[in-house]
Amino acid sequence: MRSILSLFIILNNNGVEASHKVYQKFQSLSAVKVDQLHRTGFHFQPPKNWINDPNGPLYYKGLYHLFYQYNPKGAVWGNIVWAHSVSKDLINWEPLDPAIYPSKPFDINGCWSGSATILPGNKPIILYTGIDPDNRQVQNYAIPANLSDPYLREWIKPDDNPIVVPTNDMNASAFRDPTTAWFTDGHWQMVVGGRRKRRGIAHLYRSKDFKYWVKAKHPLHTSQNTGMWECPDFYPVSMSSKIGLDTSVNGQNVKHVLKVSLDLTRYEYYTIGTYNLDLDRYIPDSGLKDGWTGLRYDYGNFYASKTFYDPLKHRRILWGWANESDAQLDDVKKGWAGIQTIPRKVWLDPSGKQLVQWPVEELESLRGNKVEKSNVKLKKGDHVEVEGITAAQADVEVTFSFQSLDKAEEFDPSWSNAKDLCGQKGSNVQGGVGPFGLLTLASQNLEEFTPVFFRIFKAPTKHVVLLCSDATSSSLGEKLYKPSFAGFVDVKLDNKKLSLRSLIDHSVVESFGEGGKTCITSRVYPTLAVLDNAHLHLFNNGSETITVENLSAWSMNRPLMN
């Protein structure tokens, strides 16, 4: 905590914000050759260069649109434009020319993140942050030049921009990333992320015509000591179904979600709560925490996420950016950096206490060769290889069961940080019930492997389930960030079963514990466990025997990817 605060002070004092560090030397250095070794097979990425936040996802006339922050000139952050791709199925992507790029005074120094709203009459409009000649962050709108083009190739930035500017009492370099707007009480409302001193702020604005915006008397929500709130997202979820809701829906059976991306920690958190129209405020449910100890979509490498409502399949879909975990120079050398995670359907868990996420069903169209296993016993120390699939590019679903929880290790109540606990109790540290799970991207003799595993502890009144995705042994390479990412899984264990799905794709392992209750994305760079030399194992290192009830694993085909 103290180190985070001092980091805050350092950042605050020299005015440099971690997310937008400019590497002058590299930002316009074109790749001579794009290194293919760790590029993903089925995750979203352009052929080369740097990408970050997903922007303005939307569905229009039969096509899904994804815009994203992109450096057309190099493999580090800089020269940012809104790149644009379209897809019929969220899996195969066709690239288009950038939709929004600096060209006018209100965005001449940058076109940063934002969101799309579909206005009545099926008219998309984009709100985004422009950096003006004084380096102030201002909010602009852009509209399609031709609504009869389902590709929405050309976007116009009218001259009555900017539509929202920071007032003198506001921090003009901490005022960005407008949300999708929602309609309520005869007005459009939207939120812009911000910060006052150490307080994170969701600034609330209101408009009748989408052009003249007035700041509300108070923010939609704020929280002390959380720093800058980047990329806020605010949307309704149904309390009784997995069906997604359009952003303006509110009422009896509806809760709201507020997600923010914390520039200080580079983690996101969300709360579930009530959008109180009388107070004009969002109020998180009691017991849910604002800040970096709160709930997260993903306990790994996942940032600047954004959801949108898909009217075709009545679902809410979440996109997130997974940054590289290698060094800046590696990115310059390989000529590319950043991927988007697989789009996930997101809904409220029946408990009402958390969200649940699952890869969109369209991903299954890429499944090729399949291998199945059932009723495999894993005793302490056992490793069973899953053969017959391309282990470097695979989709794996597995259900584990155990007879008893008697052997579960004692849980020390001071273990509040899942990541630290996973760092302490890795896959090689023997336990009682667990560690058990998958060894992904494993080399022949296990010099390299990325384990994704459960470990169950006994606390005085309940069991505590830990899910880890541990990059510590993922690579023999140097200067890599190799975190032991982990999250707790809120599950009852009455049926003594736990499920896991991992999407393995060369340099990314995206995992969904217990049907998507706890998700973790890791970026890894094996040197031996690459291409056909990558292996997949089941393992158990706990004294309780684990049964693999069912395992289905598929080789994944490559979609059209930009």
How many residues at the interface with ligand DQQ, by CB under 6 A?
Answer: 15
By CB under 6 A, residue 176 contacts ligand DQQ: yes
CA distance 323 to 300: 10
Question: Which of 66, 80, 264, 561 touches ligand DQQ (CB under 6 A)?
Answer: 80
Instruction: Decide: is 260 part of the binding site for ligand DQQ (CB under 6 A).
Output: no
Contacts of 334 (CB under 8 A, 6+ apart): 31, 34, 35, 37, 38, 75, 326
Angstrom distance (rounded) from CA 6 to CA 353: 32
- When the beta carbons of 268 and 362 are compared against ligand DQQ, the nearer one is 268
For position 79 contacting ligand DQQ by CB under 6 A, the verdict is: no
Q: Which is nearer to ligand DQQ, 69 or 427 (CB)?
A: 69
- Is the CB of 71 or the CB of 85 nearer to ligand DQQ? 71
Phi then psi dihedrals of residue 130, to 5 deg: -110, 150
Binding positions for ligand DQQ, 284-323, rule CB under 6 A = 303-304
Whole-number Å distance between alpha carbons of 450 and 473: 6
> Which of 107, 177, 324, 362 contacts ligand DQQ by CB under 6 A?
177
State yes or no: cis peptide before 435, omega within 30 of 0.
yes
By beta-carbon proximity to ligand DQQ, the closer residue of 117 and 427 is 117
Work out whether 230 is an interface residue with ligand DQQ (CB under 6 A). yes
Residues 6 or more apart whose CB falls under 8 angstroms from that of 336 comprise: 31, 34, 35, 39, 45, 46, 47, 48, 49, 50, 75
CA quadruple 108, 110, 115, 116: dihedral, nearest 10: 40
Nearest-approach distance from CB 80 to ligand DQQ, in angstroms: 5
Identify which of residues 92 and 137 has a Cβ nearer to ligand DQQ in the complex. 137
Q: Which two tokens stand for residue 379?
A: 């005793």
**DSSP type of residue 449:** -
- The dihedrals phi and psi of 67, each to the nearest 5 degrees, come to -105, 155
| 247 DSSP assignment | T
Residue spans of alpha helices (H) in 350-395: none
How many residues are given for the chain?
A: 562
Q: In the bound complex, what is the minimum distance in angstroms from residue 34's beta carbon to ligand DQQ?
A: 22
Our CB check for ligand DQQ shows the closer of 177 and 395 to be 177
Q: Is 562 in the site for ligand DQQ (CB under 6 A)?
A: no
Is 45 one of the binding residues for ligand DQQ (CB under 6 A)?
Answer: no
Least Å distance between CB 114 and ligand DQQ? 8
Assess contact for 545 and 377: CB atoms under 8 A: yes
Interface positions, 103-132, toward ligand DQQ (CB under 6 A): 112-113, 129
From 45, 52, 179, 357, residue interacting with ligand DQQ (rule: CB under 6 A):
52
User: Binding marks (x or -) toward ligand DQQ, 59..78, rule CB under 6 A?
Assistant: ----------x---------
Give me the sign of the Cα torsion angle 192, 195, 201, 204.
negative
What is the signed CA dihedral for 8, 2, 302, 528, rounded to 10 degrees?
A: 120
- Of 5 and 22, nearer to ligand DQQ (C-beta) is 22
- Is 268 a binding residue for ligand DQQ by CB under 6 A? The answer is no
Q: How far is the CB of 313 from ligand DQQ (least distance, A)?
A: 28
**From the CB of 73, what's the least distance to ligand DQQ, in Å?**
14
Of 53, 263, 310, 331, the catalytic one is 53
Q: How far is CA 85 from the centre of its chain?
A: 19
Q: How far apart are the first and last CA of the chain?
A: 42
337: its two tokens: 């950096």
How far is the C-alpha of 486 from the C-alpha of 467, rounded, in Å? 6
For residue 113, the minimal CB distance to ligand DQQ (Å) is 4
State the Cα–Cα distance between residues 322 and 471, nearest whole angstrom: 15
CB of 54 to ligand DQQ, least distance (A): 10
Residue whose CB is less far from ligand DQQ, 18 or 63: 18
Name which of 60 and 321 has its Cβ closer to ligand DQQ.
Answer: 321
Give the span between the Cα atoms of 258 and 110, in whole angstroms: 26
Q: Examine residue 53 and tell whether it contacts ligand DQQ (CB under 6 A).
A: yes
| Nearest distance in Å: CB 27, ligand DQQ | 12
> Is residue 132 flagged as an active site residue?
no
| 262 within 8 A of 18, measured Cβ to Cβ | no
Determine if 83 is a binding residue for ligand DQQ (CB under 6 A): no
**One of 231, 339, 386, 464 touching ligand DQQ (CB under 6 A):** 231
Q: What residues from 434 to 493 belong to the interface with ligand DQQ (CB under 6 A)?
A: none
In this chain, which residue has its C-beta nearest to ligand DQQ?
A: 112
Q: Does residue 505 touch ligand DQQ according to CB under 6 A?
A: no
Active-site positions read 53
**Contacts to ligand DQQ by CB under 6 A:** 19, 52-53, 69, 80, 112-113, 129, 176-177, 230-231, 261, 303-304
